[in-house]
Each structure stands twice: as structure tokens, then as C-alpha cells.
Amino acid sequence: MRITDSMGAPQLGQYRGQNSFWGHHDVLVKNGRVYDSWTGRHGEPMNEYLKRWEYGEYLRFDPAP
């Protein structure tokens, strides 16, 4: 899945307390868990993962191109 800002912001904001400068971020979502390089092999539940983002409530998940 590709994460983007649902409001059209050019960047996603901080991720895990660090400025990401990302316009998008690609992750794997399976069985309600999100996996990326920082979650490790067990991933994180979606609600916990969104809390790691500065503006998690505004993120949008769409199929990655």
C-alpha cells in the first residue's frame, strides 16, 4: 500500500519522532497489521502504526503503483 496525506499535503510529517520529508511511504498491510522497515517482521496493528505518525489521522492507504 502507498501512504499519502488525505488532505493533499506535500509531505507526511514526522514518523517515529523523526522528520521524514516523505511525500509518500510504501508498506505492506496484511490481516490488519502494517509492515515496513521499522516495524520488524511482526509488524504493528494499524491503530498503533498510525500513532507513530505526526498526522496519522490524515493518512490515506491506497494500492501502490
Domain boundaries, the chain: 2-62
pLDDT given for residue 61 in this prediction: 98
% of the chain exceeding 90 in pLDDT:
98
pLDDT given for residue 20 in this prediction: 92
The answer to whether 49 and 34 are in contact (CB under 8 A) is yes
pTM, two decimal places: 0.92
CA separation for the pair 14, 18 (Å, rounded) = 5
Residue type, 43: G
In sequence order, which residues have a C-beta less than 8 Å from that of residue 56 and are 6 or more positions away?
Answer: 49, 50
Taking 50 as the pLDDT cut, the residues of the chain under it are none
The answer to whether 3 and 59 are in contact (CB under 8 A) is yes
